[in-house]
Amino acid sequence: MQALTNRALAVNRKPMTFWERLYLINIIKGMFITFGHMFKKQPTVRYPEQKREFSPVFRGLHVLNRDEEGRERCTACGLCAVACPAEAITMEAAERKEGEENLYREEKYAANYEINMLRCIFCGLCEEACPKDAIYLSETFAPANFTRKGFIYEKQDLLIPNVTTEAAAFGEAKGV
């Protein structure tokens, strides 16, 4: 058969000589490679103490955004849920009542909003679909949990702190 490239080597089936059967030279050669790595730059980091920076396009755990006045931006329009290929998002809408104008930005808001993080594939299509800039994927992982129900994230788990009423928590979350 003709070789596709000229890089193929035929297997050498000659019987080994005495020196080769001793393996001494090959062991020393291998040791050189092994110990040589001690003087090279380490490719790993010591994880819990040291953390790698996320890429700017990293897609992690979702957050539900609020506007500058701390009102929830989500109006439960369902576009994230319909865009979601994993069907991880469900929601239930409610109508804003008189006196709740400081809580919700629009006439309709999400009374319940859930993301099943076991289903989520972190593709970011919800973020793309959102017409209200309400959902974003942040630069954190979904933390491990012992039960499956711990991965059902409710609206309260996803909402960012309110800038007017929880200014300290908001600053902390923002990292300043």
Q: Which residues bind other proteins (CB under 8 A)?
A: 75-79, 81-82, 90-98, 106-108, 111-114, 116, 131-132, 148-149, 152, 154
Closest CB 66 distance from other proteins, rounded Å: 16
Nearest CB to other proteins, comparing residues 24 and 111: 111
Nearest CB to other proteins, comparing residues 93 and 125: 93
Task: State how far the alpha carbon of 117 is from the alpha carbons of 4, 23, 85, 125, in Å.
Answer: 47, 54, 13, 14
Nearest CB to other proteins, comparing residues 67 and 95: 95
Rounded CA separation 164/174 (Å)? 14
Closest CB 102 distance from other proteins, rounded Å: 16
Closest CB 118 distance from other proteins, rounded Å: 8
Task: For tokens 């979904």, name the residue.
Answer: 142
Closest CB 133 distance from other proteins, rounded Å: 11
The answer for residues whose C-beta is within 8 angstroms of residue 137's C-beta and 6 or more apart is 59, 60, 61, 62, 63, 122, 124, 126, 127
Nearest CB to other proteins, comparing residues 144 and 176: 144
Nearest CB to other proteins, comparing residues 74 and 137: 74
Closest CB 146 distance from other proteins, rounded Å: 11
